[in-house]
Every structure is written in structure tokens, then in C-alpha cells.
Amino acid sequence: MLFSDIDYLDSDFTIKHGYVGVTGDRISYMGTSAPADLSAYGSVYSGHGRLLMPGLYNIHAHAAMTLLRGYAENLRLQEWLTEQVFPFEAKITEPDAYAATTLAIAEMLRFGVVSVSDMYFFDSERIRAVGDSGFKANLSPALNIFDPDVQFQDLPECAENERLVKEFHGSEDGRLLIDLNIHSEYLSNPQVVQAVGDQAVELGVATHIHLSETRLEHEECKARRGGLTPAAYFESLGFFRQPCTAAHCVWTDPEDWQIMIRNGVTAAANPASNFKLGSGFAPIAQMLEAGVQVGLGTDGMASNNNHNMFKDLYLLATVYKASSEDPTVVTPAEALAAATINGARAQGRADCGSIIVGNRADLIVLNTDIPWMKPVSSQLNNLVFAAQGSDVVLTMVDGQVLYKDGEWTTIDIEQISAATQMARDRIVSEL
């Protein structure tokens, strides 16, 4: 496909105009004029009233929790988790998880997301959903530890982690990657954390955790672990030897940021989820200033309610100005970097996240010929502060158009929506 005569977001986060060509799964051409041989690109996409940009990378989600959209509301995190979420999740079956994960993927594609870092159960069904849809994902098998004495080698997850990595890491032409998971400090024990860290090193894969999401989590960890914060706890056990995505980081402090920087830990900001659950305001501006790599995530649908990352992008670029009382922090370029290139880096996708010849063609097109994107003083500012997720009219993953103008090319949206609704209704009736 040749994107013709179109505005596009360059790798330096400026808006430029020209031609971008895709051959196979790669960006093969960029220029101010059309390439000489148009036949090499198949179809031509007119760029009039459109803007081309890298797809969004959602680096913290629980896709199958789409089943819980609107279910557990107006509760504090621990009550929400233990009294509502855990009992509901105990009723989810494999077909339920497949349908809900596929519906979440459809929603993400609709809003310009090309890849997700997904932490959950039902690994075979999540793998199948990714394969069937053509989406990208870093899937981490959920590991929640309630027994303080259990050893990792005695858990089925030990062998399962190894099997998943050996069979599926890098499959689907690299679209599917496997990360390892520890849910959090409070749902872990030291010997398991250390063993999973060892396994990640041995298998050469990244990790995914929740970190300092609430004040209670942060302070109880210090009380339990001899004054160590969650970040210090994980570092002390060697867990950060492989690249790690740490979700939330709301109550991290300057010492934690240095731990993250020296260990290559990416902070996955989840502003909508943190605000809705009353967890607080992550120190995003301060983390960026310190040099922490920050990405962006939606979290699960019981704590955010949609996978519209343009909403999270807007929150990232606005709310932390208020929480830091400084309107100059979290610039549009920094917010867009969090949603694109930083997310791709966090997922270990070095050839993704920006419009550069040779990169994988993970691209989205926005309609800019709409009232709320006019007039144009700065299209970059409009993209962050005015654009809506519903403005996305095309989503391409590895050169394949998976969503265009209200249609999904790999997902039967009516069938998958109905299956998810039926699963939700059955589960609620069983509770």
C-alpha cells in the first residue's frame, strides 16, 4: 500500500507531508514525491484530510477482563479485587476467555492499538486470539502467589512458562512474544520472585509486574520487607535482570526511579485506571525528568472501561500538569513517545513504533477533516489534545489492514460480541 500525499508523524515527532510506502510487512519508502514504480505497492490510499502515525502500544492490559466491563464499580482496589474480581474470574472458562480477548483486540484495533502487553490466565486461548486476529502481543502467564512457603519448582507454572516460551515466543512471524509474570509484591513470596527472575534470565525473555499501585501496597511492602519498597524488593531478589514492564508506579519515589533506570524497567502509566480506582497520581513528570522510560496502558476493563488509548493519551498529557502544578511538563511529544516508540521498546520490538524505512508497518490513519481537528495551529497539539480514538479510520499491523472504516478484516465482530455477552450473563447468574 502507498499512503499518498499524506500528513504523517515523523520519528522526531514532527508532522511532515509526503508519501509512505509499505511492501510486505515493512515500511519500504518515504519521500516528498511519489515513488517511480507505483505497481510495487498494490493499492494507493489517498491522504487528503488524513494523518498517518505509528500504531499505539498498550503495554499494560488484562484483555479477557472485557467480561467485567461495568461490573465492579466504585470500590477501593483491595475490596474490588478480592470481593468482586476474583470470584468473577473463578467462573471464566476457556471459550469465555477467547471471546473476551478477541473482543478486546477488536476494540484496540478500532482505536489504533497495534500491540498489547497482556497479563492474564488462559494462555492457550489468548494465544489463539492473537494468532486468529493478526494482532501483536506480549503475553505473560499470570502468577498469583498466596502461599508464603511454596517453591516455584513445585508450581505447574514453572514448567508451563518454559513450554510457552519454547513453543510460542517469536511465533506468528514475531507478532507473539511471551513475557514472564509476578503479579505484585503482595501476591508473591521471595523464593518465587527469585526463581522467576532466574527463569527469565535462562529463557532470555522480559517480565511484567504490578508495582506500587496503591499507597497501601507500597507501605505494607515496606513493613513486610524490612523497609524495602516494592521496587527495592524486586531488585534485591534479582528480578530486574531482564527488561521489565512495571505497571502503575503510582507511589514510587526517587530511589525507586534510580532502581528502574539502572535496571531498564519501563513504567507503564495507567492514568484512567489509577484515577477511577482512586489509587492516586503517578509522578510521571518527575519520572520523565529523572530519565525513567514511560509507556502507556489501559489496564483491564473493570478499572478503565475501554481500550481507547487516545483517552489515556489525553490524560497522560494533561492531568500530570495539574498534579505537579507545572503546565510545561509531559509535552505532546513525550506523551506520544509513551504511546508509541516507548511501548514498542518496552515490548522488545526494536523495529517498531516509528515511521522509518525498514521498520515494521504498524500504522494507523486518523481522519483530520473534522471540526475538532480544525483550525490547525499545531497538528501535533491537536493530535494529543483534540483527537479522539474514534477518529481512527485504518489500523495496519505488519502491513496487513486489520481495521478499516468500520470493518474488521479478521474478526467477526457480531459473533464475538454475542459470545462475550452470553459468557458475562452466565457468569453473573452463577455468582
d(CA 210, CA 208): 7
Domain residue extents for the chain: 2-54+353-408, 56-346
Name the one residue in this structure whose C-alpha cell is 525528568.
289
Angle 85-88-90 (CA atoms, 0-180°, nearest 5)?
110
- Count of H helices and E strands in the chain? 16, 18
CA pair distance 386, 169, nearest whole angstrom:
38
In terms of Cα–Cα distance, which of 291, 335, 286 is closest to 313?
335
Domain 2-54+353-408 is found in CATH 1.10.10.10: no
- The four Cα atoms 215, 220, 223, 224 give a dihedral, to 10 degrees, of -150
The per-residue DSSP string of 64-132 comes to GGGGGTTTS-S--HHHIIIIIIHHHHTT--HHHHHHHHHHHHHHHHHTTEEEEEEEES-HHHHHHHHHH
Residue 282, pLDDT score: 97
pLDDT value at position 243? 98
pLDDT in tens, the chain (431 residues): 999 999 999 999 999 999 999 999 999 999 999 999 888 898 999 999 999 999 999 999 999 999 999 998 888 878 888 899 999 999 999 999 999 999 999 999 999 999 999 999 999 999 999 999 999 999 999 999 999 999 999 999 999 999 999 999 999 999 999 999 999 999 999 999 999 999 999 999 999 999 999 999 999 999 999 999 999 999 999 999 999 999 999 999 999 999 999 999 999 999 999 999 999 999 999 999 999 999 999 999 989 999 999 999 999 999 999 999 999 999 999 999 999 999 999 999 999 999 999 999 999 999 999 999 999 999 999 999 999 999 999 999 999 999 999 999 999 999 999 999 999 999 999 99
Q: What is the phi-psi region of residue 325: left when phi exceeds 0, alpha when psi lies from -120 to 50, beta otherwise?
A: left
For residue 400, the cross-strand partners are 397
Three-class SS of residue 152? helix
Bridging pattern class, strands 113-120 and 50-54:
unpaired
The CA radius of gyration of the chain, in Å to the nearest whole number, is: 21
**b/e map of 170-201 (b: 16 or more CB within 10 Å)?**
eebeebbbbbbbbbbbbebbebbbbbbbebbe
Residues 6+ apart with CB under 8 A from 368: 7, 49, 50, 51, 374, 379, 382, 391
Q: Quote the cell numbers at residue 255.
A: 530511589
Amino acid at 408: W
CA distance 81 to 244: 23
Q: Which residue has the cell 505447574?
A: 156
**Dihedral pair phi/psi, residue 365, rounded to 5°:** -120, 135
What pLDDT is attached to residue 75? Answer: 83
**184 vs 344: CA distance, rounded Å:** 23
Question: What pTM value is reported for the model?
Answer: 0.97
Pick the CATH number of 56-346 from 3.90.220.20, 3.40.1440.60, 3.40.50.2000, 3.20.20.140: 3.20.20.140
- Please name the amino acid found at residue 192: V
The kind and range of the H/E element at 26 are: strand 26-31
Residue ranges of the alpha helices (H) in 283-352?
Answer: 284-290, 309-323, 332-339, 341-346
In this predicted structure, what is the pLDDT of residue 379?
97
Beta bridge partners of 119: 140
Among 404, 399, 354, CA closest to 2: 399
Tell me what pLDDT residue 39 has.
87
Cell (9 digits) for 339: 504511546
> CA nearest 171: which of 146, 196, 136, 141?
136
Q: Are 37 and 286 in contact (CB under 8 A)?
A: no
| Cα 383 from Cα 385, distance rounded (Å) | 6
CA dihedral 322, 328, 330, 333 (to 10 degrees): 150
| Residue whose cell numbers read 472485557 | 66
pLDDT for the residue 78:
82
- What is the pLDDT, as a whole number, of residue 275? 94
Which residue carries 507473539 as its cell? Answer: 176
Helix 156-168 and helix 190-203, axial crossing angle in degrees, nearest 10: 20
